[in-house]
Amino acid sequence: MGPDSLYKACDIRGHAEEELTEALYEHWGRVLAARVEVGAPFAVGGDVRPSTPAFLEALCAGLAAGGAQVVEVGVAPTPMVYFGRRHLQTRACAIVTASHNPPHVNGLKWMVGSRPPDEAEVRSLSCPPGGATPPGRAGGGRSAADLSAPYGAWLTERWAHDAALRLVVDPGNGCWSGRAGEYLRAVFPAAEVTALHDRADGTFPERSPDCSRPGPLAELAAVVRERGAGVGIAFDGDGDRVAFVDDEGAVLSAEEATQVLLGCLGAELAGRGFVHDVKFSDKVADAARALGAEPRAQRSGHAFIRRLMMDCDARFGAEISGHYFDAELEGGDDGLFTACRLVHHLGREGARLSDLRRACAPVFMTPDLRLEVPAAEQEAVLAAVRAAHAGRPQSDVDGVRVDFPRGWALVRRSVTEPAVTCRFEGRRAADLEDTIEAFCSTLPELGPRLAELYRREREGETT
3-class secondary structure for 394-445?
EECCCCEEEEECCEEEEEEECCCCCEEEEEEEECCHHHHHHHHHHHHCCCCC
Pairing mode, strands 192-195 and 166-170? parallel
Q: Are the C-beta atoms of 86 and 73 separated by less than 8 Å?
A: no
| pLDDT tops 80 at residue 416 | no
Beta bridge partners of 144: 72
What string of DSSP letters covers 150-170?
HHHHHHHHHH------EEEEE
Query: For residue 240, which phi and psi values (nearest 5 degrees)?
Result: -95, -25
Domains and CATH numbers, the chain: 4-146 (3.40.120.10), 149-358 (3.40.120.10), 364-458 (3.30.310.50)
- The confidence score (pLDDT) of residue 2 equals 45
Q: Are the C-beta atoms of 11 and 111 separated by less than 8 Å?
A: no
**pLDDT tens sequence across 139-189:** 999 999 999 999 999 999 999 999 999 999 999 999 999 999 999 999 999
99 is catalytic: yes
pLDDT level of residue 127 (50, 70, 90 thresholds)? confident
Closest to 365 in 3D by CA, of 254, 440, 263, 244 = 254
| Cβ-based neighbour number of residue 368 at 10 Å | 16
| pLDDT tops 60 at residue 3 | no
State which H helix or E strand residue 250 sits in. Answer: none
- The confidence score (pLDDT) of residue 461 equals 58
3-state secondary structure of 358: helix
431, with CB counted inside 10 A (0-12, 13-18, 19+), is middle
Closest to 54 in 3D by CA, of 100, 106, 4, 122 = 106
pLDDT level of residue 24 (50, 70, 90 thresholds)? very high
**pLDDT tens sequence across 30-48:** 999 999 999 999 999 999 9
Query: For residue 409, which phi and psi values (nearest 5 degrees)?
Result: -130, 140
- The confidence score (pLDDT) of residue 417 equals 75
- Residue 200 CA, distance from chain mean position: 20
Q: Which of 71-75, 108-112, 209-213, 449-453 has the lowest mean pLDDT?
A: 449-453
| pLDDT tops 90 at residue 445 | no
- Average pLDDT for residues 312-332, to the nearest whole number? 97
Residues near 81 by Cβ (< 8 Å), separated by ≥ 6?
A: 43, 44, 45, 73, 93, 94, 95, 147
Closest to 111 in 3D by CA, of 133, 134, 86, 87 = 86
Which of the residues 99, 208, 253, 321 is marked catalytic? 99
Average pLDDT along the chain: 95
Residues near 223 by Cβ (< 8 Å), separated by ≥ 6?
A: 168, 194, 196, 229, 232
Residue 160: CA atoms inside 13 Å, Cβ hemisphere, count?
Answer: 7
What's the rounded Cα separation, in Å, for the pair 70 and 55?
Answer: 15
| pLDDT tops 80 at residue 328 | yes
| pLDDT tops 60 at residue 452 | yes
Q: Helices 446-458 and 429-440, interaxial angle, to 10°? A: 150
What string of DSSP letters covers 302-315?
HHHHHHHHHHTT-S
- The confidence score (pLDDT) of residue 242 equals 98
**pLDDT tens sequence across 235-265:** 999 999 999 999 999 999 999 999 999 999 9
- One-letter amino acid identity for 187? V
Q: Could you give the percent of the chain with pLDDT greater than 70? A: 97
State which H helix or E strand residue 171 sits in. Answer: none
| pLDDT tops 60 at residue 1 | no
State which H helix or E strand residue 119 sits in. Answer: helix 119-123
pTM to 2 decimal places: 0.95
| pLDDT tops 70 at residue 4 | no
